[in-house]
Amino acid sequence: MSAIISVQNLNKIYESGFQALNDVSLDIRRGEIFALLGPNGAGKTTMISIICGIVNPSSGLVTADGHDIIDDFRAARSKIGLVPQELCTDGFESVISTVNFSRGLFGRPPNKAYIEKILRQLSLWEKRDARIMTLSGGMKRRVMIAKALSHEPEILFLDEPTAGVDVELRRDMWDMVRDLRKRGVTIILTTHYIEEAEEMADRIGVISRGKLILVEEKDALMEKLGQKQLRLQLQKPLLELPEELKSYPLSLTHNGLELIYHFDTTGDQTGIADLFQRLNEHGIDYKDIQSKQRSLEEIFVSLVTERATPATEAAE
Ligand SMILES: Nc1ncnc2c1ncn2[C@@H]1O[C@H](COP(=O)(O)OP(=O)(O)OP(=O)(O)O)[C@@H](O)[C@H]1O
């Protein structure tokens, strides 16, 4: 699949001397949903802001649909819709006039039918004449999306699209994002809700301290890093693991009532049969067994914490 956004060796050093992006290279494929994950301050917004022409890069090359974001700024920017983290609209304006105005900013001629379509899709049509200040937080967020889509962009950036919204609206937004993707829009989202990435993304990128540390298909990532856990509820509490079992990937919960065995489904053998045999030999009885896949959240936390080891810090 061809790249709709190409980022090559991107660096950003702010005036303060702080390096927010460190040699980031990334291709976003046409038509995909790409989730950019990273802890606070990792550089996600900086990267989006550079691609959208809001922040200047210190070095590197970025193109959007083949247009250089600096030399060919207008053409590049016209391909992109941005829903920023903060709600920024004029509260006194009506929904429809603010969305029409956004379209005009991109030099697009008015298109009543298109604007009606997006307002309907976002359940804003009934509210089209309402002043934005009178809308709920969730509705205001929808207005931000309508503004970002007003000029018919092929690429949509969603910076923390569901921060602070309720569960119902979050589900609605997920449906809407999938729907946009079906119609060929490429979507790049940043999120702190790993569940959101797990639910929606085709690919995941993880950024930590300005470096892109991983880019993977979500399913492959889940498969590769998604170790499974086997949890055994014991009949009687166990004070300590028997010596022979200490070398096994086993842990015991505080109350001694649960044994957790970590295993890798991609390996030739899981070792479960052997484990059961050993438990039997040691007279450790269990009354229930559950198996659980490691979630993307757990994978993400371990990736980012591995990066934050003292050795890494010392190197920076
Ligand atoms: N204008 C600026 N001048 C100096 N430093 C900045 C500026 N803007 C951002 N930074 C710093 O760059 C780093 C990356 O910030 P950025 O907003 O890109 O992170 P983020 O990954 O989007 O974080 P969050 O998840 O909190 O939104 C942070 O340490 C931030 O303090």
**pLDDT value for 103:** 94
**pLDDT value for 180:** 87
One domain, residues 43 and 167: yes
**Considering the entire predicted model, what is its pTM?**
0.77
One domain, residues 219 and 170: yes
CB distance 210 to ligand 1 below 6 Å: no
Q: Looking at the 3D structure of the chain, how many domains does it have?
A: 2
Ligand 1 pocket test target in 13, 16, 45 with most atoms within 8 Å of CB:
45
What is d(CA 42, CA 299) in angstroms, rounded to the nearest whole number?
A: 17
Which value does ipTM take for this structure? 0.96
Query: What residues of the chain score a pLDDT lower than 70?
Result: 1, 164, 224-227, 265-268, 293-298, 302, 305-316
**pLDDT value for 187:** 96
Beta-sheet strand order (sheet of 250-252): 250-252, 258-263, 228-234, 286-293
In a domain, residue 122? The reply is no
**pLDDT value for 196:** 82
One domain, residues 214 and 276: no
One domain, residues 289 and 159: no
In a domain, residue 164? The reply is yes
What domain range includes position 204? 3-79+154-223
One domain, residues 69 and 162: yes
Q: What is the CATH number of the domain that holds 74?
A: 3.40.50.300
CB distance 43 to ligand 1 below 6 Å: yes
Given CA atoms 167, 169, 172, 173 in this order, what sign does their dihedral have? negative
One domain, residues 16 and 64: yes
Q: Report the mean per-residue pLDDT for the chain.
A: 86
One domain, residues 183 and 280: no
Residue type for position 246: K
One domain, residues 8 and 74: yes
Residue 131 half-sphere exposure, CB side, CA atoms within 13 Å? 6
In a domain, residue 85? The reply is no
CB distance 45 to ligand 1 below 6 Å: yes
In a domain, residue 99? The reply is no
In a domain, residue 112? The reply is no
One domain, residues 161 and 219: yes
CB distance 42 to ligand 1 below 6 Å: yes
Summarised one tens digit per residue, pLDDT across range 131-187 is 999 998 888 888 998 999 999 999 999 988 877 677 777 787 888 888 889 988 999
One domain, residues 64 and 162: yes
In a domain, residue 113? The reply is no
For strand 203-208 and strand 186-190, is the pairing parallel, antiparallel, or unpaired?
unpaired
One domain, residues 169 and 254: no
CB distance 86 to ligand 1 below 6 Å: no
